[in-house]
């Protein structure tokens, strides 16, 4: 059984008990435990079930690479799935639940998948669900969806807060082990601004566990001295629980700091995302031990040798009473010593190397430990817990020599440097045959804006395996990074290191070397995604020879651990199957983040109200106080309608429309884009931007204009007013203000830079109020506005007038077909003007109206709306707006595009009006049916609905549509689709439904 | 995330401050052009591995368009220069020739 030892545990505080629950069961641990070490102390070895076969799985590792012990942590708004028990520090009140099982961890129905595993090989889904096609939607997809996903998605809104922090460093050191600290000291002494990030809660990394003496003191004392020196340097910042998540272009690095995940008190931000710019980056990220590939290597109790050591030394926890160590290298012998030290049994050390190990092997024998060179695990015995191992010769096909009882198997397949951060931004790797590892190729580093490398690896991350090697490399890298960042630094000499020499590992990718299919089909590579040696071999056999293809076909390394344990073993198996060398097969791409980071941290403070700024018109508060129903339009909020107490939205819209048609309504049009285009060439410039002629517009007059892109498609429309000879005011759509401003700037700056024109976006500087309806003039007269008769201020003219004591610029333009004055005032006076108009209009029955009424009013008049009648593929000609396209101009943006054959085709869908035979309202986005079917068996279409409303003026549904040969088909009846019902019959009519001659707006 | 120097306002900014506008030094084709020339102008862009000239706008800064010469593989920035030119300045080309002897980009070498 696994249990807490009576002594030992360098990270725990035996005086501080912590209570927590696992699957609802109360348990006790100690301050300093991880969730994994606390579970092991409670004899909870099985910590989850695998994704595909639901096999029982125990903890394998002791750090970020853990594939199995994934937990749902927390409750309600603090719940988060897929958290690694090995990196979750224990605190009082922690609640954890294991994943992928039903009804319970101990008894799981889905485990039947494992019995059927020979029917679920690699590529099963691709092969099986292809046919019959009709089964996909009703049968396969629901099953796949049910089974998909690891943990449960949180149900509640995230109750925690998160934040971003910007930081700058000359030298950023990622990793706070001896290598990182040594490098940081060297860089820090030079005066460079140094930032050190360590993902765990402790400095020192593996060295205090693995032993060795540095400068005459133990590794821990040396680490303490390094940290003390760094803390004394004002130019150095140290951060624990902060992972280097990703390295990006030009020295941009993301750090992921976990602030409260280890605390009972969850107040304050939970995670902090560090957005760092570093001149130089040192990754001292250590190495990850590789599992060995033997049958039953996923049974709970089979662990990495280093993890067994960590639980013993760091937490005083014995993962079991009797261990079998299986290794291809010297380092794993240390686990046997740690077990001995703790007073536990070492059943055997199986060293796959024919010649056995070096000095550590001799020491093991001297300590009375049974060491078996040239031996391997034939098979692990047990199901929910290891009960023993069958041993065999590594060289053979696995004939069992002996069965050895044990409850832990400590495996070590050698070490892989953590090269992820090096590789994120393009750092290349070399295969080191002697050490059996990919390590960074210093000659092919990620390059920065000056073309020089900005990342260097230090210590074990750089391939160093011995302590002395690590320290020497780290000091050199620290000094080199400082120099590269512009500081003077010379690496200090290597302190005296007392360590045991090691002999090289053997490359062992399958155990035993000639394992039969039965064994290979029980030999796991990727524990989290249930990928076995046999799956990779099948992929190779079926032609998935590229490592990237084999990965996707088998899902190797595609789980939340991203193959930290499995990738090297997997590609070694692949290279063997392809009979190619490992470096020829290569690795898959390392992508950030190093381990998953929370979505909350990525969002930071940008949630809810702070997700994006809200733009408010100067009259926003008045609308809010008068029962407005808002509509989001870009970043703006615009009134959709103003329902009165007890009135439905639909009724309110109809009332607002009727008010405008019969009396007078007020529209807050402040969001409309207002661009001042000024300069001697302003007219020439606008002639290029608009399809019609703007240079001929007289000062004091307004003209409606269309804007196209170079393709010829409509992008915006609006009324242009000429203010004086050199100045135009261009109105754009609400959403178009910024994009059209940018569009103008682009052409001015990059194509017609000879033109003397300036553009200023004054959208927010002015409030604009539409006074619309047959009584509009009367209302303005109540406020004493002079000279606004038809003769003094005619339709499509503008003039400066004082309205109720407020100086206004009044545009006589109409988007409703009614008599209309648009009053423009400096933003600060818009509210006062609005209130004056509301008060003065009381006796006339004035009412504010919103965007829905605006839409219906314009549709009744057949006015197009950008975004409704247009979708980026519609030309002015499609909308029968030839009248707005100048024939005289040699050129304008879009003219050449509109000459292309498809755009000038007579078969294009063109604008018409539609009236249903029964008067009902057509569905938005509905299609107009044509005869026959296309080559995919779908019904042919000949048009679509672009706008459709109930018109209270006509007391019926009205619609605008694009229809093939539309204008030639007036009076024809067409069929329009309706969801869940048969087609609706509608008559093709002129899109102007109201006041066809435009008499009402011109009075 | 690239760092770029805006040649107009002189600020070194992060990529998020800028907006990339694709290939630089494109010649506009107007109504007199034939279909092939117009389609080339509208749709055909080089996508080189190595030296490239691009249009960028300092959208969250001074708002000005400019050009950048950079290596799409190593991310090295050779230089930035104003948008009001039809050809990269000679000093930028000299820098590139020194670092990438024999480079060719469209008809520029």
Band of the pLDDT at A107, cuts 50, 70, 90? confident
Residue B12: alpha-carbon gap to chain centroid: 17
List Cα–Cα distances, A883 to A869, A970, B49, in angstroms: 17, 20, 48
- Is 70 exceeded by the pLDDT of residue A111? no
pLDDT in tens, A843-876: 999 999 999 999 999 999 999 999 999 999 999 9
Structural contact between residues B71 and B49, judged by C-beta atoms closer than 8 angstroms: no
Task: Kindly give the interhelix angle for A851-860 and A649-662, rounded to the nearest 10 degrees.
Answer: 50
Structural contact between residues A285 and A477, judged by C-beta atoms closer than 8 angstroms: no
CA distance B83 to chain A (A): 6
Fold of A525-585: Arc Repressor Mutant, subunit A (1.10.10)
CB contact under 8 A, B2 and A742: no
Chain B interface mutation, best of A275, A425, A451, A898, highest count of B Cβ atoms under 10 Å: A451
Band of the pLDDT at A614, cuts 50, 70, 90? very high
pLDDT in tens, B58-91: 999 999 999 999 999 999 999 999 999 999 999 9
What is the pLDDT at residue A103? 67
pLDDT in tens, B5-55: 999 999 999 999 999 999 999 999 999 999 999 999 999 999 999 999 999
CB contact under 8 A, B71 and A451: yes
Band of the pLDDT at A151, cuts 50, 70, 90? confident
Kindly state which CATH superfamily the domain B3-99 is placed in: Folate-binding superfamily (3.30.2270.10)
| Range in A37-51, A145-159, A777-791, A798-812 with the lowest mean pLDDT | A145-159
Exposure string (b/e) for A125-162, b if CB count within 10 Å is 16 or more?
eeeebeeeeeeeeeeeeeeeeeeeebbeebeeebebbb
Q: Where in chain A is the domain with CATH 3.50.50.60?
A: 162-287+417-498, 291-413
What is the pLDDT at residue A757? 98
> B65 and chain A: CB distance < 8 Å anywhere?
yes
Q: Where in chain A is the domain with CATH 3.30.1360.120?
A: 624-671+766-857
- Is 80 exceeded by the pLDDT of residue A132? no
Return the number of CB contacts < 8 Å for A and B: 69
- Is 70 exceeded by the pLDDT of residue A143? no
What is the pLDDT at residue A54? 83
User: According to CATH, what is the number of the domain A162-287+417-498?
Assistant: 3.50.50.60
Nearest to B74 among A451, A890, A901 (CB): A451
CA atoms of A290 and A411, how far apart (whole Å): 8
What is the pLDDT at residue A114? 65
CATH architecture of A624-671+766-857: 2-Layer Sandwich (3.30)
What is the pLDDT at residue A61? 98
Question: A470, exposed or middle or buried, with CB in 10 Å at 0-12, 13-18, 19+?
Answer: buried
Exposure string (b/e) for A285-320, b if CB count within 10 Å is 16 or more?
bbbbbbbbbbbbbbbbbbbbbbbbbbbbbbbbbbbb
Tell me the sheet residues that pair with A809: A800, A824
CB contact under 8 A, B42 and A710: yes
| Range in A128-132, A737-741, A883-887 with the lowest mean pLDDT | A128-132
Complex ipTM: 0.98
Encoded tokens for A386: 């290891």
Nearest CA in chain B to A246: B1
CB contact under 8 A, B1 and A710: no
pLDDT in tens, A329-349: 999 999 999 999 999 999 999
CB contact under 8 A, A895 and B30: yes
What is the pLDDT at residue A150? 74
Encoded tokens for A689: 């931007």
- Is 80 exceeded by the pLDDT of residue A116? no
- Is 90 exceeded by the pLDDT of residue A637? yes
What is the pLDDT at residue A104? 76
Exposure string (b/e) for B73-82, b if CB count within 10 Å is 16 or more?
ebbbbbbbbe
The whole-number average pLDDT for the span A796-814 is 97
CA distance A172 to chain B (A): 17
What is the pLDDT at residue A142? 64
Band of the pLDDT at A642, cuts 50, 70, 90? very high
CA atoms of A713 and A173, how far apart (whole Å): 52
Backbone phi, psi, residue A565, to 5°: -90, -30
Q: Where in chain A is the domain with CATH 2.40.30.110?
A: 904-989
> A443 and chain B: CB distance < 8 Å anywhere?
no
Q: What is the mean pLDDT of chain A?
A: 95
Exposure string (b/e) for A600-616, b if CB count within 10 Å is 16 or more?
bbbbbeeeeeeeeeebb
CB contact under 8 A, A451 and B55: no
Residues of chain A above pLDDT 70, percent: 96
Nearest to B84 among A251, A753, A901 (CB): A753
Q: Which of residues 738-757 of A touch B (CB under 8 A)?
A: 742, 745-746, 749-751, 753
Fold of A3-113: Ubiquitin-like (UB roll) (3.10.20)
Question: A932, exposed or middle or buried, with CB in 10 Å at 0-12, 13-18, 19+?
Answer: exposed
Where are the strands (E) in A733-765, listed by range? 758-761
Band of the pLDDT at A49, cuts 50, 70, 90? confident
Residue A705: alpha-carbon gap to chain centroid: 40
What is the pLDDT at residue A126? 63
> B1 and chain A: CB distance < 8 Å anywhere?
yes
What is the pLDDT at residue A99? 86
- A710 contacts in chain B (CB < 8 Å): 42
CA distance A282 to chain B (A): 18
CB contact under 8 A, A249 and B21: no
Q: Where in chain A is the domain with CATH 3.30.70.1400?
A: 673-765
Long-range CB contacts for residues A149-155, cutoff 8 Å, separation at least 24: A150/A51, A150/A70, A150/A81, A150/A82, A150/A99, A150/A100, A150/A528, A150/A559, A150/A560, A151/A70, A151/A72, A151/A81, A151/A82, A151/A99, A151/A100, A152/A72, A152/A81, A152/A99, A153/A81, A154/A77, A154/A79, A154/A80, A154/A81, A155/A79
What is the pLDDT at residue A51? 80
| Domain residue limits, chain B | 3-99
pLDDT in tens, A720-752: 999 999 999 999 999 999 999 999 999 999 999
Nearest CA in chain A to B35: A900
- Is 70 exceeded by the pLDDT of residue A656? yes
Nearest CA in chain B to A445: B74
Nearest CA in chain A to B37: A896
The whole-number average pLDDT for the span A52-67 is 93
At A282 the three-state DSSP class reads strand
- Is 70 exceeded by the pLDDT of residue A140? no
Structural contact between residues A57 and A300, judged by C-beta atoms closer than 8 angstroms: yes
Band of the pLDDT at A494, cuts 50, 70, 90? confident
Residues of chain B above pLDDT 70, percent: 100
The whole-number average pLDDT for the span A73-90 is 95
Band of the pLDDT at A692, cuts 50, 70, 90? very high
pLDDT in tens, A748-802: 999 999 999 999 999 999 999 999 999 999 999 999 999 999 999 999 999 999 9
User: According to CATH, what is the number of the domain A904-989?
Assistant: 2.40.30.110
What is the pLDDT at residue A60? 98
Nearest CA in chain A to B5: A449
What is the pLDDT at residue A121? 67
- Is 60 exceeded by the pLDDT of residue A148? no
CA atoms of A940 and A950, how far apart (whole Å): 28
What is the pLDDT at residue A382? 96
Band of the pLDDT at A115, cuts 50, 70, 90? low
Q: Which of residues 15-54 of B touch A (CB under 8 A)?
A: 15, 21, 28-31, 33, 35, 38, 42
């Amino acid at each position: 059984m696994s249990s807490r030892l009576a002594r030992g545990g360098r990270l725990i505080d035996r005086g501080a008990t912590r209570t927590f629950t696992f699957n609802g069961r109360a348990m006790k641990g100690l301050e300093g435990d991880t969730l994994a070490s606390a579970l092991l102390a409670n004899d909870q070895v099985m910590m989850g079930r695998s994704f595909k076969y639901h096999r029982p799985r125990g903890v394998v590792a002791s750090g970020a690479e853990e594939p199995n012990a994934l937990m749902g942590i927390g409750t309600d708004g603090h719940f988060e799935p897929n958290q690694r028990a090995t990196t979750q520090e224990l605190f009082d009140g922690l609640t954890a639940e294991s994943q992928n099982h039903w009804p319970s961890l101990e008894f799981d129905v889905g485990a039947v998948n494992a019995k059927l595993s020979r029917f679920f090989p690699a590529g099963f889904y691709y092969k099986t669900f292809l046919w019959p096609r009709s089964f996909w939607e009703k049968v396969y997809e629901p099953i796949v969806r049910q089974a998909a996903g690891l943990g449960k998605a949180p149900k509640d809104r995230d109750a925690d807060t998160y934040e971003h922090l910007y930081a700058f460093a000359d030298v950023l050191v990622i990793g706070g082990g001896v290598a990182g600290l040594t490098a940081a000291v060297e860089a820090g002494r030079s005066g460079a601004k140094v930032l050190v990030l360590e993902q765990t809660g402790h400095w020192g990394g593996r060295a205090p566990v693995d032993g060795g003496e540095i400068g005459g003191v133990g590794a821990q004392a040396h680490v303490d001295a390094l940290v003390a020196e760094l803390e004394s340097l004002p130019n150095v910042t140290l951060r624990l629980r902060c992972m280097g998540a990703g390295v990006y272009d030009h020295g941009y690095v993301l750090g992921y700091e976990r602030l409260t995940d280890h605390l009972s008190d969850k107040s304050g931000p939970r995670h902090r995302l560090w957005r760092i710019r570093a001149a130089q980056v040192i990754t001292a990220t250590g190495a990850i031990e590789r599992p060995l590939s033997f049958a039953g290597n996923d049974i709970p109790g089979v662990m990495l040798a280093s993890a067994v050591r960590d639980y013993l030394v760091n937490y005083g926890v014995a993962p079991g009473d009797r261990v079998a160590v299986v290794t291809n290298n010297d380092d794993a012998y240390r686990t046997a010593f740690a077990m001995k030290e703790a007073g536990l049994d070492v059943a055997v050390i199986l060293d796959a190397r024919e010649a056995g190990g070096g000095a550590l092997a001799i020491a093991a024998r001297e300590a009375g430990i049974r060491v078996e060179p040239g031996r391997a695990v034939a098979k692990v015995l047990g199901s929910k817990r290891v009960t023993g191992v069958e041993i065999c010769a590594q060289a053979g096909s696995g004939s069992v020599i002996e069965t050895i009882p044990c409850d832990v198997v400590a495996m070590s397949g050698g070490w892989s440097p953590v090269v992820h951060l090096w590789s994120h931004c393009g750092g290349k790797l070399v295969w080191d045959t002697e050490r059996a590892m990919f390590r960074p190729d210093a000659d092919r580093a990620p390059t920065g804006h000056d073309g020089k490398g900005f990342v260097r690896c230090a210590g074990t991350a750089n391939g160093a395996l011995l302590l002395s090697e690590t320290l020497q490399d780290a000091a050199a890298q620290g000094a080199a990074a400082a120099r590269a960042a512009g500081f003077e630094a010379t690496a200090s000499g290597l302190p005296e290191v007392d360590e045991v020499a090691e002999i090289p590992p053997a490359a062992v990718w399958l155990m035993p070397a000639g394992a039969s299919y039965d064994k290979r089909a029980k030999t796991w590579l990727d524990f989290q995604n249930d990928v076995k040696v046999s799956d990779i071999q099948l992929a190779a056999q079926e032609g998935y020879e590229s490592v990237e293809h084999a990965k996707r076909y088998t899902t190797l390394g595609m789980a939340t651990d991203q193959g930290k344990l499995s990738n090297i073993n997997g590609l070694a198996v692949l290279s063997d199957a392809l009979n190619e060398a490992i470096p020829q097969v290569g690795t898959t791409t390392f992508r950030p983040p190093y381990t998953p980071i929370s979505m909350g941290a990525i969002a930071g403070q940008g949630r809810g109200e702070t997700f994006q700024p809200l733009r408010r018109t100067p009259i926003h508060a008045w609308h809010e106080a008068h029962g407005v129903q808002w509509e989001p339009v870009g970043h703006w909020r615009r009134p959709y309608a103003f329902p009165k107490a007890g009135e439905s939205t639909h009724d309110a819209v109809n009332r607002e429309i009727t008010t405008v048609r019969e009396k007078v309504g007020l529209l807050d049009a402040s969001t409309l884009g207002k661009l001042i285009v000024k300069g001697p060439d302003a007219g020439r410039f606008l002639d290029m931007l608009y399809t019609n002629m703007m240079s001929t517009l007289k000062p004091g007059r307004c003209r409606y204009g269309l804007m196209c892109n170079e393709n010829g498609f409509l992008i915006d429309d609006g009324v242009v007013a000429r203010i004086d000879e050199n100045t135009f005011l261009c109105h754009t759509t609400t959403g178009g203000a910024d994009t059209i401003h940018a569009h103008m700037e682009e052409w001015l700056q990059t194509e017609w830079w000879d033109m003397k024109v300036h553009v200023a976006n004054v959208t927010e500087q002015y409030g604009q109020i539409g006074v619309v309806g047959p009584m509009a003039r009367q209302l303005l007269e109540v406020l004493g506005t002079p000279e606004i008769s038809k003769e003094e201020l005619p339709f499509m003219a503008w003039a400066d007038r004082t309205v109720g004591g407020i100086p206004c610029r009044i545009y006589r333009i109409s988007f409703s077909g009614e008599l209309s004055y648009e009053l423009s005032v400096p933003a600060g006076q818009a509210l006062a003007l609005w209130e004056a108009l509301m008060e003065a209009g009381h006796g006339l029955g004035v009412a504010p109206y919103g965007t829905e009424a605006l839409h219906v009013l314009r549709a009744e008049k057949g006015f197009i709306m950008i975004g409704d009648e247009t979708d980026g593929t519609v030309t002015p000609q499609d909308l029968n707006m030839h009248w707005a396209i100048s024939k005289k101009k040699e050129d304008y943006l879009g003219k050449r595009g509109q000459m292309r054959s498809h755009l000038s085709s007579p078969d294009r869908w063109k604008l018409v009006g539609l009236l249903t035979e029964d008067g009902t309202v057509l569905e938005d986005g509905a299609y107009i049916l044509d005869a026959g079917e296309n080559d995919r068996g779908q019904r042919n279409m000949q048009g679509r609905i672009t706008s459709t409303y109930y018109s209270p003026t006509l007391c019926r549904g009205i619609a605008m549509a694009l229809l093939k040969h539309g204008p030639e088909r007036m009076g024809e009846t067409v069929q329009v689709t309706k969801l869940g019902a048969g087609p609706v019959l509608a008559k093709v009519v002129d899109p102007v439904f109201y006041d066809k001659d435009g008499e009402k707006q011109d009075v | 995330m690239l760092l770029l120097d805006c040649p107009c306002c002189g600020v070194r900014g992060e990529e998020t401050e800028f907006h990339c506008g694709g290939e630089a030094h494109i010649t506009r084709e107007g109504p007199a052009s034939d279909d092939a020339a117009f389609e080339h102008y509208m749709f055909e862009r080089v996508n080189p591995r190595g030296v490239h000239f691009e249009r960028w706008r300092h959208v969250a800064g001074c708002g000005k368009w400019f050009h950048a010469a950079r290596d799409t593989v190593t991310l090295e920035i050779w230089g930035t220069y104003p948008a009001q030119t039809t050809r990269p300045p000679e000093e930028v080309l000299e820098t590139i020739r020194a670092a990438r002897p024999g480079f060719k980009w469209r008809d520029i070498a």
